[in-house]
Amino acid sequence: MKIDSDKPTILRARAYIIGLALVIVVCLIVGYSELVASRGGSMDAILLGASHMPPAAIGILMALILINVILKRIGPAWKLQPAELAVIYVMTVCGALLSSFGLAAQLLPNLAGVNYYADPLNGWQDLLRNLPKWMVPFDPKGPEKQFVTKAYYEGLHGGEPIPWGDWVVPLAAWTILALLFFFLMACLATLLRRQWVDNEKLPFPLVQLPLEMVEGGTHRSSMDKKFLVLGAMIPILFHGMNGMHNIWPNMPEFRSWFLLNDYFVGKPWTDIGIIPVAITFSVIGFTYLLPLDVSFSMWFFLLFFRFQDLIGSNLGYQFDNMPLYPSHYYVGYQAVGAAVAVCVSMMWFARPHIKLAWERIWTNQHKGLDANEMMSYRTAFIGSVICFTFIIVWLGLAGMNVLVAAFMMLCFIFLVVVVMSRCVAEVGLLMLQGVFRPTDVWAVVATKASLGVANLVPLALLNGVFMRDPRTLMPVFMNGLKLSDGVKMPRRKLAVAIALAIPVAIIAAYTIHLWFVYRRGGIIMNSWFFHSNPTLYIGEAKSILAGPKDMDFRAPAFFTVGMLFTFFLYFMRTRFWWWPFHPLGYAIGATWPVMVYWVAFFTGWMFKSLIIRYGGIKGFRTFRPIFLGMILGEFASALLWATLSAIFGITLPAIPLT
């Protein structure tokens, strides 16, 4: 649905001011909900900032829309216009992510946890001595459990002050690295936007509901609004019943999460990977917005990999998992090969656009090509090269070999960030998590032990902060650019908003997180952020250095299988219009998000298939508000129960959004 092109775009300075204030508010909300209120792991909590459509940002947008109704009655000039609402929403999404998995919630515990959990038995502190002092808040050459990390985990006592000074240098250093990453992602988003939005016309499912909300439903019929309310009531009643069951156990309960594996015992069933069943109404709603081949492939390929498990079990294959991921090794390396094929294929299909952009970068041709992008193509290209160079310099100063650092960063940027951003734009994944990291890609060409301690120790911190859970900002940039088209907003005004929001969000998130943790103690907070994540990667580095030094040739073998099969899927997709298998389904079919959401993908695909079959495009449009309402209702439920939990301490119902 488009904004009337005759209406002028209104974007006043107050939108930026309100946005910056709300960035601080959203950092406070996310920091409290994910650190203080969420004492268990991520599956035991409602994480309000951990997705690319954060419930905290949607909640603030809903509040602004309600306030807008009042402002409209006071005077039309007071009302926030659609472009202003869109800018504020994108700014708060940046704030929510940076306060969560996008930066602060992973960076701070990782920098402190490696020292706090080190002891003479695990010998981690011996590895940490290889780090420069500016990378961490403790002395790398000192003992385990230094005051700055011990107080971080166990809390300050009496009138002890927060040791802000110990954090200034390492946070400044890591912020420089983060800003280099973010600007590089903005450059790539600028260079890819026209191809993804205008040429390929990707669906961008996570943009459709915010666009409807900022428009204010002015083009909706009364029937559309009734269907929207009907859709919203389904998750509200479902999660409301479960929430009341936690308060009054005599109330009935609907299970929203369980494992099918619990019902299948004995071989070969015990050899297959996990098959969760999660009732996620918002993902059903997003799936309804997808092309049918995409939604079909999201659930089909998970079952395809489980079928491979059954075959392997019957053939006597000895299963082992990818390091630090819940997917089998042979599946994980198929995914590595698939990611390479997806990246290569994206660039191949974008050849006409790349040719035009290249000519625009180096000549004065095609002057209108980048006139309304976030920045000129020349700035984006040169900026990406400069950022990449300084990232390698940063890693070199951290002790890494620059050639190894370049390999790792190329893999991270193109195989993880770009491919996963494509999944958000084309599939609408709420969260991102692959089944491999750049260190796993290294194992295709050499042993991990060959990296040595000088590379493995800095990579342990990088894995914990950025690489394993890459819920970063490039998808936000791409979604924001698509949203700006919907409200007819110049993209460079969006760029200004993002440039203002990011530094404010970083400073606010650091301050809020350190204050909460030092006053309360991280040891009683979210177990994923404060225990699991900080210990996984340094422990892995230790085991690699102490483990076997021989090459595992299964990695290149399954890598080749995955790459060739993905190229085959692209070939069939471009040759036969009826081909139902989308390559992205194979590339991410073994990832945690697809494991969690496969039932929702199946349900949304089934409903859309039946509606299109018997009602055509008219039927699809008629029922679309119901599925948008399901998204809105589930997010509203998450916000409501998270608020009640924070105020009254009640047990949250399981709402598997992340």
State the average pLDDT over residues 311-320: 88
Classify residue 578: in a domain, yes or no: yes
pLDDT score for 365: 82
Which residues on neighbouring strands pair with residue 276, listed in sequence order? 259
The answer to whether residue 59 is domain-embedded is yes
The whole-number average pLDDT for the span 72-76 is 81
How distant, in Å, are the alpha carbons of 156, 359, 512, 642, 657 from that of 46?
27, 48, 19, 7, 7
pLDDT of residue 380: 96
pLDDT digits 0-9 by tens, 594-638: 999 999 999 999 999 999 999 999 999 999 999 999 999 999 998
Is residue 370 included in any domain, yes or no? yes
From the number of C-beta atoms within 10 Å of its C-beta (0-12, 13-18, 19+), residue 73 rates as exposed
Domain count along the chain: 1
**Would you say residue 206 lies in a domain?**
yes
State the pLDDT at residue 319: 87
Could you tell me the pLDDT band of residue 219, with boundaries at 50, 70 and 90? low
pLDDT beyond 50 at 4: no
Residue 12 belongs to a domain: no
pLDDT confidence band for 7 (50 / 70 / 90): low
Span 311-315, average pLDDT: 89
Give the tens place of pLDDT for each residue, 513-558.
999 999 999 999 988 999 999 999 999 999 999 877 888 899 999 9
Question: Is 326 a domain residue?
Answer: yes
Give the whole-angstrom CA distance, residue 377 versus residue 382. 8
Residue 528 domain boundaries? 19-648
How confident is the model over 119-171, as pLDDT tens digits?
A: 999 989 999 999 999 999 999 999 999 999 999 999 998 889 999 999 999 99
Distance of CA 403 to the CA centre of its chain: 28
- Model pLDDT for residues 438-494, shown as the tens digit of each residue: 999 999 999 999 999 999 999 999 999 999 888 889 999 999 999 999 999 999 999
Q: Which residue has the higher pLDDT, 47 or 38?
A: 47
Q: Grade residue 195 by pLDDT with cuts at 50, 70 and 90.
A: very high
Q: What is the arithmetic mean of pLDDT over 181-189?
A: 97
| Mean of all residue pLDDT scores within the chain | 91
Q: How confident is the model at residue 252 (pLDDT cuts 50, 70, 90)?
A: confident
Note whether residue 13 is domain-resident.
no
Q: Is residue 23 within 8 Å of residue 92, measured between CB atoms? A: yes
Q: What is the DSSP string of 121-148?
A: TT-HHHHHTTS-GGGSSS-TTS-SS-HH
Residue 29: the pLDDT is: 93
Half-sphere exposure of 188 (CA within 13 A, CB side): 22
Query: Considering the domain boundaries, does residue 349 fall inside one?
Result: yes
Q: How far is CA 592 from CA 86, 263, 475, 595, 599, in A?
A: 30, 20, 18, 5, 13
How many CB atoms are closer than 10 A to CB 50?
Answer: 28
